[in-house]
A and B are shown apart, each in its own frame.
Chain A
Amino acid sequence: IVQKLSTLRGSIGYVELTIFPTVVNLNRIKLNSKQCRIYRVRVNDLEAPFLYNDPTLEVCHHESKQRNLNYFSSAYTAAVSAVDPDAGHGELVIKVPSELWKQGDDLKVLKVYIEFSLDQPKGGLHFVVPDVEGSMAERGAHVFGSCDEKMKIFSCHRFWFPCVDSYSELCTWKLEFTVDASMVAVSCGDLVETIYTHDMRKKTFHYVLPIPTAAPNISLAVGPFEILVDPYMHEVTHFCLPQLLPLLKHSMSFLHEIFEFYEEILTCRYPYSCFKTVFVDEAYVQVSSYASMSIFRADEWVLKGISGYIYGLYLKKTFGVNEYRHWIKEELDKIVEYELKMGGVLLHPTFSGGKEKDNPTPHLHFSIKHPHTLSWEYYKMFQCKAHLVMRLIENRISMEFMLQVFNKLLSLASTASSQKYQSHMWSQMLLSTHAFLKSISNVSGKDIGPLIKQWVDQSGVVKFFGSFAFNRKRNVLELEIRQDYTSSGTQKYVGPIKVTVQELDGSFNHMLQIEENSLKHDIPCHSKSRRNKKKKIPLMNGEEVDMDLSAMDADSPLLWIRIDPDMSILRKVEFEQADFMWQYQLRYERDVVAQEEAISALEKFPTPASRLALTDILEQEQCFYKVRMQACFCLAKIANAMVSTWQGPPAMKSLFTRMFCCKSCPNIVKTNNFINFQSYFLQKTMPVAMALLRDVQNLCPKDVLNFILDLIKYNDNRKNKFSDNYYRADLIKALTNSLTPAISINNEVRTVDNLNADVRLILEEITRFLNMEKLLPSFRNTITVSCLRAIRQLQKNGHIPSDPSLFKSYAQYGHFVDVRIAALEALVDYTRVERSSGELQWLLSMVQNDPVHYVRHKILGLLCKNPPFTKTTDSALCNEALVDQLWKFMNSGASHDWRLRCDAVNLYYMLFGLTRPSCLPLPELGLVLNLKEKKAVLNPTIKPELGVGAVMDTPFNTMEDEDIDMETVHDSQAFIHHHLNLLERPSTPGKHPHTHTHTHTHTHTLHSRPENSSYSVQCSFIYMASNHNNSHLNQALGNSGKEKLPFNRKKPAKPASGRGTHLPQLVGGEGD
């Protein structure tokens, strides 16, 4: 690739591909390309005709009034399939000149040369050019390939250069970038040399990447970067924007340790000879990696699973087992919650032939066939599940074997990659589920087939309900484990399950078999229920402790019971045991997961005993700090439930005073010293939890509020080594939590005069904090973020007038991104509460126009999380104009950004559901024709909800079957008639005599391109053509001299299958 970049948001360049034919009859080459203007294509120095068609620019071509998400999703999936490089498709079709066919048949090398330019790209490359005085370098202008992990899998590199945009096509690379002399161009591979251009005003960076790498792993960043060579590893280079070098040094000071960890654990050297990290502004996602782990791929879940799994290992090593187990529980809870709510997450879908009943995930409103039709949330959950499944495999085969498998895969890959010019060997570098499983069985000798079948080939989690009874006569624990496998997102589990019983005489593990019909399991107890008070009680970890056993049931030796303590099933367990058992579990079980489960369970038992257990945990310094933090919130809930019988000062107040206040003056907090992180986190969390306390009038107790105000007043960070910005932000959060709805008489207008006295104090603090932030900004502006949330809460509770203008000003481009997101969150909330169409429009226009991709994505995400209305509620906001607006945005407006399009689809689903939005008038037609299956079906708009793909899920593979005539003017009418002949008459003729299937073709061939000067004319036509609507089309068709097609706008034409909808819109010229 040779590319010249200009700071005027554009670039020109060319790509030269070397192709080794592996089949005869290679007369067409399909590549991926979007947004690029292709000037000319040459194959082995011969001009080649080419054809450019991007069906995803506009998903549904008909001016459809259907507005049905089912329809959209299937059309979109089809459009994406039509350019899927893994299926041999692409937007750019190059015809190999006939002179070279012979050469191709001899399997000789073909060199394809493509000249292209990129002007003001909307996606792929992101230009950040701050609008200030000075040269580009002084302004910190930079550009980078903006792509996230998910999109990388398939798609976004075609946005900035033509390529085979797939992980499965590996090749070696030579890259040249010419940029302004003040800039640095960072790309993949080894920087061979940097040379000035002849005018000495620009530099060309020459890169070589000798290791076969797929196009999605290639990226680029250009900017006036400061360069830091890693002091521990000189082959590692870090880059950041001007002035940020100190932060870079700090952030990267651990990198060498991480490197060592990975190389040690994989017993494999990092495959590339250099490593670069680049920090940019306005990034698409927080991290994206290129040309690093690219030797993995093929099956996404394996790749994501392994990287997540290794991350977990690193976490365990660096932060300890508690942190690791806490993380695993958190991730497990997350995936369980998502699947139970939204339906199953399928790691390894198999698609057999695109028949409607084969759709593996009918519960979703999008297709999981292609990564870029996936919802963002779903994809995150997919990653989460993948690494949890990897952990299950590890549990099964042991970590040692697991690492051996990784090592084996890596060494195979690196051997393959070192074999130059033997591209067939490079397939070893790709990782499929099959190869992974084979490697596991070779190394461990174990068959993990059932495990894979359960968690990888099948979606859903397991939902257990457990309860027990103790049979004193038989001294047996009768455990009952039921399952819910009928609700959405669940699956049935059959197999072993571990149950741990803590008895008086010790802790015992039992392996039970969950079978089809047996619910009850008898577990013999080891201990007699007699009580020997002197005796210490042995725990699972061998520790022996004294316990106060007075709370126990005198007849039972059971202290507590845990189901699947090792989290070796992806499950949710609802287990019933007595409150004292949970309390014992919280106090004496040493596993943090058990402690957290106990805390959650204790919320349902607001008793003095629970209070005591929680307080003891809070005070226990040996206890994991995250457990203690969770205990704070549980204690607040219990205190509220016990409000009428609560004795003593408000919960946690005396504890906080004892731990963090001065001994001589207990109302004053000590000056900050955050050297001990555990107590720092506790100090930060306790006020937030305390503020949730309520008295009998359901108000925050005066004591508590004054206490928090004092914490703010006496906060003194002058002698602290660490910044207190997060602590102060949490104190503001505490103020926010203390707010309760204002008592309002007759909806009076909120003014300063009728402000509640407490609220006045709070408001004064917030005003001061927010103003001080302008003079002394805190790190990441955390204080502003907290203040904005507080102000929204004040508005929502009716203390101050509800008004969006403040948030709008903070949401503008030019504020730090965290601040913008906080302001947008408030605006989204305002939109919902006030049902304001003005604000909704404001937000939607920002979605379309904001320069920062992340912010656009985030707005849609926030709207989905807190929707202004849903498909089940009525709202004045729900109207035809909004449907049209969103539809248009999904259909064509977001074509440059897969993620944004999926976000918009999500929002549409949230607002209107899968079927035709209820606010639209009923369609006139009851029947539509299905071209592909040659039958008439009920109009899907009137049909009840259907899974995606039920109407149509046929990829556009017909393109492959027929030769596209690129030489002559396309006879569109003939083509349409040809297709119409395929159609059998509908079975109910005469009922809708005007039913027509509308397909249109729009092909232009431009012969002979005389001068270079005509390029621009020709290219601008590409974009005109691709943005056309139907009237334009009709006109174009009319101009071709044939009769005009009757076009019935009311009629939702059959969701077109075949090539109708996605025919090429432009044929590039053939050179002389």
Chain B
Amino acid sequence: LRDNARGSAGKATSSPAENYLLARRRTLQVVVSALLTESGFESAEKAAVETLTEMLQSYITEIGRCAKAYCEHTARSVPTLSDTVVTLIEMGFNVDTLPIYAKRSQRMVITAPPVTNAPVTPKALSAGQKRTHPAHIPSHFPEFPDPHTYIKTPTFREPVSDYQVVREKAATQRRDVERALTRFIAKTGETQSLFKDDITTFPLIAARPSTIPYLSALLPSELELQALEETDSSEQDDQTDGENTAGNAITDDPGADKENSMLPPSGVVPSTKASEDNVIDNPYLRPVKKPKVRRKK
């Protein structure tokens, strides 16, 4: 790992991009030193200079980033002066003081940084032929990106739609989930066993009496209710596997009509009745009377 680090460090010195950045940094350091001298410092620790440089760099970077954002908001690509001004205001800088500060007498002049070539960003790997602009798009607009970035390229395999495999998969998956879940619960809680010598092979979650046992036994679980809603909305009859409706829904049976008529009338009360509900006079719905105040004799 150390070799690696050293290797990369050695490489950095030769890289033009690194050189460019180092030159900039050096200039910033000079600026910081100049400002310190201006403020009356004679010497400074290296670490302090470094920190101040870092802060300055962050500040300038933020101004740049922010100014760019402002310009892009107004659908331009190059920041203008006003973008910069707004940025400075936004960052809490009093812009009015800037001209005075710029024209101060004790200002030190710093030599321009040496001209170094800005690093060339390596060209992205291009794939396929780029599209040329159609006639209605002016040529100064940016070029189309590589086709793979916007063209749908099917890369997945055909999903398994074989009925048998789907059922097999669903069944196995459910069984695995159930087994894992019950085993987990069994392992983390109290268990009972059918074998005295082996309590792990067939662990049974211990039976625990509940205070109101009829609730869980009679009321459907939330999961079931949810499933029921789903079935209701997705119309039981439109089963996708297609196999289902053939044999199960036998209707030519003479008894079938009778049976069907026995289905609950969807549990809803006829609307005419419902409207009368407001005037039901049932003794159990009447308000409880206040006790009569006994008059003292």
Question: A195 near B284 (CB under 8 angstroms)?
Answer: no
Q: Nearest chain-B residue to A320 (Cβ)? A: B258
Kindly list 4 other residue pairs between chains A and B, CB separation below 8 angstroms, not including A774-B185, A814-B213: A196-B291, A231-B274, A250-B267, A663-B243
Indicate whether A791 sits within 8 Å of B194 (C-beta atoms), given known contacts A196-B291, A253-B264, A771-B204. yes
Q: Nearest chain-A residue to B200 (Cβ)? A: A752
Bound CA span A723–B225, Å: 10
Question: A815 near B209 (CB under 8 angstroms)?
Answer: yes
Bound CA span A234–B286, Å: 13
Indicate whether A194 sits within 8 Å of B286 (C-beta atoms), given known contacts A234-B280, A678-B255, A772-B182. yes
A534 adjacent to chain B (CB < 8 Å): no
Number of residues in B with C-beta < 8 Å to the partner? 86
A776 adjacent to chain B (CB < 8 Å): yes
Interface 9-residue window, one of A85-93, A803-811, A931-939: A803-811
In whole Å, how far is B244's beta carbon from the nearest beta carbon of chain A?
A: 5
Question: B192 near A237 (CB under 8 angstroms)?
Answer: no
A622 adjacent to chain B (CB < 8 Å): yes
Q: Which residues of B contact A (CB under 8 A)?
A: 163-164, 167-168, 170-171, 175, 178-179, 181-182, 185-186, 192, 194-198, 201-207, 209-221, 223-224, 227-228, 230-232, 234, 236, 239, 241, 243-256, 258-259, 262, 264-265, 267, 269, 273-274, 277, 280-286, 288-292
Question: A714 near B171 (CB under 8 angstroms)?
Answer: yes
Q: Which residues of A have CB within 8 Å of B227?
A: 718
Q: Which residues of B have CB within 8 Å of A817?
A: 213-214
Q: Which residues of B have CB within 8 Å of A718?
A: 227, 230-231
Bound CA span A805–B199, Å: 14
Bound CA span A237–B251, Å: 38
In whole Å, how far is B84's beta carbon from the nearest beta carbon of chain A?
A: 62
Question: A801 near B209 (CB under 8 angstroms)?
Answer: no
Indicate whether A253 sits within 8 Å of B243 (C-beta atoms), given known contacts A130-B211, A235-B282, A763-B194. no
In whole Å, how far is B90's beta carbon from the nearest beta carbon of chain A?
A: 56
A980 adjacent to chain B (CB < 8 Å): no
Task: Name the contact of B282 in the complex, choosing from A237, A281, A763, A801 (C-beta under 8 A).
Answer: A237
Q: Which residues of B have CB within 8 Å of A621?
A: 250, 252-253
Q: Which residues of B have CB within 8 Å of A351?
A: none
Task: Name the contact of A801 in the complex, choosing from B196, B250, B288 (C-beta under 8 A).
Answer: B196
In whole Å, how far is B82's beta carbon from the nearest beta carbon of chain A?
A: 63
Q: Nearest chain-B residue to A717 (Cβ)? A: B227
Q: Mark A773-815, 1 if CB is under 8 A from B, else 0.
A: 0111101110000000001001000001101011001101111
In whole Å, how far is A122's beta carbon from the nearest beta carbon of chain B?
A: 22
Q: Which residues of B have CB within 8 Å of A131?
A: 211
Q: Which residues of A contact B (CB under 8 A)?
A: 130-132, 139-140, 181, 184, 190-198, 200, 203, 227, 229, 231-232, 234-235, 237, 241, 243-244, 246-247, 249-250, 253, 274, 281, 318-320, 322, 621-622, 624-625, 658-660, 662-665, 668, 670-671, 673, 675-679, 713-714, 716, 718-721, 723, 750-752, 763-764, 767-768, 770-772, 774-777, 779-781, 791, 794, 800-801, 803, 805-806, 809-810, 812-819
In whole Å, how far is B139's beta carbon from the nearest beta carbon of chain A?
A: 58
Bound CA span A714–B171, Å: 5
Indicate whether A805 sits within 8 Å of B192 (C-beta atoms), given known contacts A184-B284, A716-B171, A812-B209. yes
Q: Which residues of B have CB within 8 Å of A624?
A: 255
Question: A232 near B182 (CB under 8 angstroms)?
Answer: no
In whole Å, how far is B160's beta carbon from the nearest beta carbon of chain A?
A: 14
Question: A196 near B178 (CB under 8 angstroms)?
Answer: no
Question: B218 near A779 (CB under 8 angstroms)?
Answer: yes
Bound CA span A234–B279, Å: 10
Q: Which residues of B have CB within 8 Å of A721?
A: 228, 231-232, 236
Indicate whether A814 sits within 8 Å of B211 (C-beta atoms), given known contacts A250-B264, A673-B249, A716-B170. yes
Bound CA span A231–B170, Å: 44
In whole Å, how far is A709's beta carbon from the nearest beta carbon of chain B?
A: 11
Question: A803 near B163 (CB under 8 angstroms)?
Answer: no
Question: B288 near A771 (CB under 8 angstroms)?
Answer: no
Bound CA span A229–B276, Å: 12
Task: Name the contact of B250 in the complex, choosing from A181, A241, A253, A676 (C-beta under 8 A).
Answer: A676
Bound CA span A763–B181, Å: 17
Indicate whether A767 sits within 8 Å of B259 (C-beta atoms), given known contacts A621-B250, A679-B248, A718-B227. no
Bound CA span A130–B201, Å: 36
Indicate whether A803 sits within 8 Å of B167 (C-beta atoms), given known contacts A191-B283, A237-B284, A814-B210. no
Question: B217 near A676 (CB under 8 angstroms)?
Answer: no
Q: Nearest chain-A residue to B189 (Cβ)? A: A774
Question: B283 near A192 (CB under 8 angstroms)?
Answer: yes
Q: Nearest chain-A residue to B206 (Cβ)? A: A809
Indicate whether A803 sits within 8 Å of B288 (C-beta atoms), given known contacts A234-B281, A622-B253. no
Bound CA span A131–B251, Å: 51
Q: Which residues of B have CB within 8 Å of A247?
A: 218-219
Bound CA span A764–B234, Å: 34
Task: Name the contact of B207 in the complex, choosing from A130, A716, A815 (C-beta under 8 A).
Answer: A815
Question: A670 near B282 (CB under 8 angstroms)?
Answer: no
Question: A659 near B247 (CB under 8 angstroms)?
Answer: yes
Question: B250 near A806 (CB under 8 angstroms)?
Answer: no
In whole Å, how far is B277's beta carbon from the nearest beta carbon of chain A?
A: 7
Bound CA span A776–B265, Å: 28
In whole Å, how far is B282's beta carbon from the nearest beta carbon of chain A?
A: 5
In whole Å, how far is A477's beta carbon from the nearest beta carbon of chain B?
A: 33
Question: B291 near A670 (CB under 8 angstroms)?
Answer: no
Q: Nearest chain-B residue to A671 (Cβ)? A: B244
Would you give 6 A-B contacts (Cβ < 8 Å), ordered by A? A184-B284, A250-B267, A774-B205, A803-B196, A816-B213, A816-B216
Q: Which residues of A have CB within 8 Å of B205?
A: 770-771, 774
Question: B202 near A779 (CB under 8 angstroms)?
Answer: no
Q: Nearest chain-A residue to B256 (Cβ)? A: A676
Q: Which residues of B have CB within 8 Å of A625?
A: 255
Question: B213 near A664 (CB under 8 angstroms)?
Answer: no
Q: Which residues of A have CB within 8 Å of B236?
A: 673, 675, 719-721
Bound CA span A772–B202, Å: 13
Bound CA span A227–B181, Å: 39
Question: B207 near A810 (CB under 8 angstroms)?
Answer: yes
Indicate whether A671 sits within 8 Å of B241 (C-beta atoms), given known contacts A234-B280, A814-B213. yes
Q: Which residues of A have CB within 8 Å of B164?
A: 662, 664-665, 668
Question: B243 near A670 (CB under 8 angstroms)?
Answer: yes
Q: Nearest chain-B residue to A322 (Cβ)? A: B255
Question: A196 near B203 (CB under 8 angstroms)?
Answer: no
Indicate whether A662 sits within 8 Å of B163 (C-beta atoms), given known contacts A132-B211, A184-B284, A234-B282. yes
Question: B195 near A750 (CB under 8 angstroms)?
Answer: yes
Q: Which residues of A have CB within 8 Å of B186?
A: 771
Q: Which residues of A have CB within 8 Å of B244?
A: 670-671, 673
Task: Name the contact of B212 in the complex, choosing from A140, A660, A771 (C-beta under 8 A).
Answer: A140
Bound CA span A316–B49, Å: 102
Question: A752 near B197 (CB under 8 angstroms)?
Answer: yes
Question: B209 near A660 (CB under 8 angstroms)?
Answer: no
Bound CA span A662–B196, Å: 43
Q: Which residues of A have CB within 8 Å of B230?
A: 718
Question: B198 near A777 (CB under 8 angstroms)?
Answer: no
Q: Which residues of A have CB within 8 Å of B207?
A: 806, 809-810, 812, 815
Q: Which residues of B have CB within 8 Å of A677?
A: 259
Bound CA span A227–B252, Å: 42
Bound CA span A132–B230, Å: 35
Which of A320, A750, A771 neighbours the largest number of chain B CB atoms within 10 Å of its CB? A771
Question: A194 near B289 (CB under 8 angstroms)?
Answer: yes
Bound CA span A662–B216, Å: 34
In whole Å, how far is B243's beta carbon from the nearest beta carbon of chain A?
A: 4
Question: A664 near B194 (CB under 8 angstroms)?
Answer: no
Bound CA span A677–B178, Å: 29
Q: Nearest chain-B residue to A204 (Cβ)? A: B291
Task: Name the contact of B291 in the complex, choosing from A197, A777, A812, A816 (C-beta under 8 A).
Answer: A197
Question: B267 near A198 (CB under 8 angstroms)?
Answer: no
Question: B217 near A777 (CB under 8 angstroms)?
Answer: yes
Question: B249 near A253 (CB under 8 angstroms)?
Answer: no
Question: B220 near A779 (CB under 8 angstroms)?
Answer: yes
In whole Å, how far is A132's beta carbon from the nearest beta carbon of chain B?
A: 4
